[in-house]
Amino acid sequence: MNLSELKTQFLEYIEIEKGRSVKTVENYDHYLTRFLSFAKTNDPKDISDNLLREYRLWLNRQSTGNNKPTGATLKKKTQNYYLIALRAFLKYLAKRDVKTLSPEHIELAKVGERHIDVISEQELGRLLQAPEGNSLKSLRDRAILELLFSTGLRVSELCSLSRDLDLSSDEFSIRGKGEKVRVVFLSEQARSAVKAYLDKRADVEDPLFIKINKECGEGEDPGLTRRSIERIVKHYAIKAGISKKVTPHVIRHCFATDLLSNGADLRSVQALLGHANIGTTQIYTHVTDKHLRDIHKNFHNKRKK
C-alpha cells in the first residue's frame, strides 16, 4: 500500500481504536499531509534517515505566517508536534510490518522549560467580580468565570456542558481529553452563580452556556464556542484592569496554583485537572517555592550560637 492510503488507515485507527478526539485526528492529518507533501513520495521505503534530516531542517526554517514578525520561524515545541505525529505514524507502520524508517530514529527537539501564565490573587478577584448587574448576559458571564475557577475545566469541557447540570450536588463528572471521565467540584460561589443564571433563562436550549440576543445568528448553534468564551474572558480581564493576557486556560492555571499554594498534593491536583501524566502537573510546583523557603528559614541550621 502507498503512504497516502496508509495515512488514511492510520487516522481511522487512532480515532476508532485509540479513541482520539476528532480535533486530534485533524491535527495529525495536517502534520502528516505536510510531511508527505515535503517527502514527494508515496513509497514507505523512501522514508530514510536522510529524508528525516532534510525534513527537520525544512521545519526549522518554516515561517510562522503572515501575522508574525518577518523572519519568525516555527517554535521548537510546534516542530515537535510534527515529529510526534510522524513518529506515531511510523509506529503504526511497524505494527503493520510495513518496511520503512524505525520510529526510534525520531528524536524530539529540546525545548526550554515551560512557563505558565498566572494572575495574582487580587487580579483574579477583580476578574471574577467584573460582570456587573443582573442582566442575563452578566449572570451568564459571572457563572462562566466562577465555574472555570471552581473546577479547572478546559474551555472545550466547559462548552460541552448542558443545562441539566445537577446543582443539588457540589460535584459532577466531565468527559475530558482521551474520553477520560473525572469528577470536578463546585464551590458555593460557582453553584450560586450558575443557579442565578439558569433561573433567569426563559429558553429551552440544551447547552448550559448559550449565545444571547445578537450573539447568535439565524440557524447557528446556540451554544457558546471556545472562541466566544475566550472573548468573554478577555473582555472582563480588560474591564478589571489586568494588563496581562488572560484566557480560560490562565484561569485553569490559577485553579491549580491556588490548590497547591494552600497545601494540596500534586497527585490530587493531577486528578482534578485530568492530566494523564504527572509530569504535566509538575509545571505548577513553582508556587510552592515560597513555602519551601519558609521551611528552610525556620528549620534549617538551628545550631546554638
Catalytic residue among 34, 126, 249, 286: 249
For the CA atoms of 255, 258, 262, 264, the dihedral, rounded to the nearest 10 degrees, stands at 30
Is 177 one of the annotated active-site residues of the chain?
yes
Catalytic residue among 7, 87, 211, 275: 275
Backbone φ/ψ region at 133: left (φ over 0), alpha (ψ -120 to 50), beta:
left
Is 154 one of the annotated active-site residues of the chain?
yes
Is 99 one of the annotated active-site residues of the chain?
no
User: Could you report how far apart the first and last alpha carbons of the chain are, in Å?
Assistant: 79
CB 265 within 8 A of CB 281: no
Whole-number Å distance between alpha carbons of 121 and 239: 16
Catalytic residue among 7, 20, 142, 252: 252
Whole-number Å distance between alpha carbons of 135 and 131: 10
Is 115 one of the annotated active-site residues of the chain?
no
Whole-number Å distance between alpha carbons of 160 and 168: 20
Is 284 one of the annotated active-site residues of the chain?
yes
Cell of 294: 519558609
Q: Residues near 9 by Cβ (< 8 Å), separated by ≥ 6?
A: 1
Q: Residue 118: name the closest of 286, 279, 290, 4 by CA.
A: 286
User: Which spans in the chain are helix H?
Assistant: 3-16, 22-39, 49-60, 76-95, 121-129, 136-151, 155-159, 188-200, 226-239, 248-261, 266-273, 278-281, 289-299
Catalytic residue among 154, 200, 211, 286: 154
Catalytic residue among 177, 182, 200, 235: 177
Whole-number Å distance between alpha carbons of 277 and 42: 35
Q: Enumerate the active-site residues.
A: 154, 177, 249, 252, 275, 284
